[in-house]
Amino acid sequence: MLEKAQRRLQPSARSAVPPFMVMDVMAAAARLEAQGRRVIHMEVGQPAVGAPATALAAARAALSAGPLGYTETLGIASLRRRIAKAYGEWHGLDIDPARIVVTTGSSGGFVLAFLAAFEAGDRVAVALPGYPPYRHILAALGCQPVCIETTAQTRWSITGEALLALHRAQPLKGLIVASPANPTGTMMTAPALADLIRCAEDAGIVVISDEIYHGLDYAFAAETAARLTDDAIIINSFSKYFCMTGWRIGWIVAPPSLMRAVERLQGNLAISVPTLSQIAAEAAFDAREELTQVKHCYEENRRILLEGLPRAGLDSFLPVDGAFYLYADVSRFSTDSFAFATRMLEEAGVAATPGVDFDPVRGRHFLRLCYAGSREEMHEAVQRIGAWLKDAPR
Ligand SMILES: Cc1ncc(COP(=O)(O)O)c(C=O)c1O
């Protein structure tokens, strides 16, 4: 009977998206820990600390207060107003709360944005290296991700020139930009972002700006696409700056013309976003001091790695501008970053993500290290990597 069901129930072709290789690294790290080994986790891209105290207090109060029903599909009105107000505080911008959609993390925001803006078959440009789910969600929805390889010359970001060259060869419908970016941790300067958005919009290409790492910028201030245009779809999240990954809550700032479509989609796909998370998220805006402290920790971790890793032997990385990632070139040691990461984990006890997750070809030469852990862990990671690279036979 089971065999018959298996024959009948074949997964759809569109569901055949690649898995995240970092999951293999995490599983290997868990096996080592089960054997009693201590592992320094630099593979997972999430804050080591939890949601701010104000968010937790609001959530506890809401749990005691009574039933948590559905909310309005676009999100609780006071939260939408609070998010809009934050654009005034952060960027001096006046954003209409009517343009804010609360989503289940930025991940939920991508699904809504792609469905609202693109038809099946539409070509959408993404950067390589880049966050893999952009490509995979687009593919699962029947769109066609088109990769643009970025280089050091353009601070690892897509340029207007590269975008238009591709558009002339075969028209594009969309473009995804991210600054700060994952896995590279690099950022676009404000003029570079403005130029890219102008080129895209002049050519009729819809811009989606993933601003999930906003607030975590060290080299210079991150620019928001909201300042440059009302036509881009801006996606953000409470996962990173606000340290609320598990609460699965984010938001979109959408062009007014797409609002009704997004509302219809979210209403059908999810009804509404978890109420408890919305209540906690609104209170997280009151945690400015706590979140500033967390950001200072990342800055200190970044300094420890920038000083320590070159001495340890890892001396080639992309500009460490923002987010909490350092993308290190390990080609001096290996042309197989997955094998390199596996050995580094087993022999040095430091878990990192192989670049192949983010760039199937050139990623063989890169490792992504996440520095969202503690200062002590960063010191220890530098020391362990140094000792390992010195002693390990190659
Ligand atoms: C660049 C980028 N965008 C989006 C996400 C998704 O985050 P979430 O769905 O938790 O908001 C991540 C998660 O790591 C990310 O790195």
Instruction: State in Å: Cα 237 to ligand 1 middle.
Output: 8
Per-residue model confidence as pLDDT tens digits over 115-166:
999 999 999 999 999 999 999 999 999 999 999 999 988 889 999 999 999 9
Q: Cα angle at 52 between 293 and 279, to 5 degrees? A: 145
Q: Are strands 100-103 and 250-253 parallel, antiparallel or unpaired?
A: antiparallel
Q: How far is CA 257 from CA 116, 194, 230, in A?
A: 10, 22, 10
What's residue 393's pLDDT?
A: 53
C-alpha 288 – ligand 1 centre gap (Å): 21
User: Which residue puts its alpha carbon closest to atom 7 of ligand 1?
Assistant: 106
Does the beta carbon of 182 sit less than 6 angstroms from any atom of ligand 1? Answer: yes
Ligand 1 nearest atom to the CA of residue 46, by list position: 14
Identify the residue whose tokens are 């996962």: 239
C-beta 186 within 6 A of ligand 1: no
Q: Is 237 in the pocket of ligand 1 (CB under 6 A)?
A: yes
From ligand 1's centre to the CA of 211, what distance in Å? 9
pLDDT at 1 over 80: no
Closest CA to 348 of 23, 97, 42: 42
Residues 261-283: tens digit of each pLDDT: 999 999 999 999 999 999 999 99
In angstroms, what CA-CA distances link 307 with 217, 241, 314, 350?
A: 18, 24, 11, 18
Confidence of residue 2 (pLDDT cuts 50, 70, 90): confident
Q: Decide if pLDDT at 296 tops 80.
A: yes
Residue 313 contacts residue 279 (beta carbons within 8 Å): no
Average pLDDT (196-202) is 98
Q: For ligand 1, say whether the CB of 112 is within 6 Å of any of its atoms.
A: no
> What does the mean pLDDT of the chain come to?
95
The answer, yes or no, to whether any atom of ligand 1 lies below 6 A from the CB of 178, is: yes
> 105 in ligand 1 pocket by Cβ < 6 Å?
yes
Ligand 1 centroid to Cα of residue 210, in Å, is 9
Cβ-contact 358, 129 below 8 angstroms: yes
Whether ligand 1 lies within 6 angstroms of the CB of 107 is answered as yes
What is the share, in percent, of the chain residues with pLDDT greater than 90?
Answer: 91
Q: What is the pTM of this model?
A: 0.95
Percentage of the chain beyond pLDDT 70 is 99
Choosing from 46, 104, 106 the residue with most ligand 1 atoms within 8 A of its CB, the one to mutate for a pocket test is 106
pLDDT one-digit tens code per residue, 178-193: 999 999 999 999 999 9
Find out whether the beta carbon of 45 lies less than 6 Å from any atom of ligand 1.
yes
Mean pLDDT, to the nearest integer, of 288-316?
A: 97
Ligand 1: which of 128, 212, 217, 325 to mutate, most ligand atoms within 8 Å of CB?
212
Closest-CA residue to 310 (of 393, 364, 379, 386): 386
Closest approach atom of ligand 1 to CA 45: 14
pLDDT band at 39 (very low <50, low <70, confident <90, very high): very high
The rounded Å distance from CA 175 to ligand 1 centre is 17
Q: Which helix (H) or strand (E) holds 326?
A: strand 325-329
**Residue 46 is encoded by which pair of tokens?**
């999430």
**Strand locations in the chain, DSSP E?**
40-41, 100-103, 123-128, 144-149, 174-178, 206-210, 233-237, 250-253, 325-329, 350-351, 353-354, 366-370
Q: State yes or no: pLDDT of 55 exceeds 70.
A: yes
Q: Which atom of ligand 1 has the smallest separation from the CA of 213?
A: 1
Cα 54 to middle of ligand 1, angstroms = 23
Determine whether the shortest distance from the Cβ of 106 to ligand 1 is under 6 A: yes
Ligand 1 contacts CB of residue 229 (under 6 A): no
Could you identify the atom of ligand 1 that is nearest to the CA of residue 108? 9
Where residue 392 falls among pLDDT bands split at 50, 70, 90? low
Does the pLDDT of residue 172 top 80, yes or no?
yes
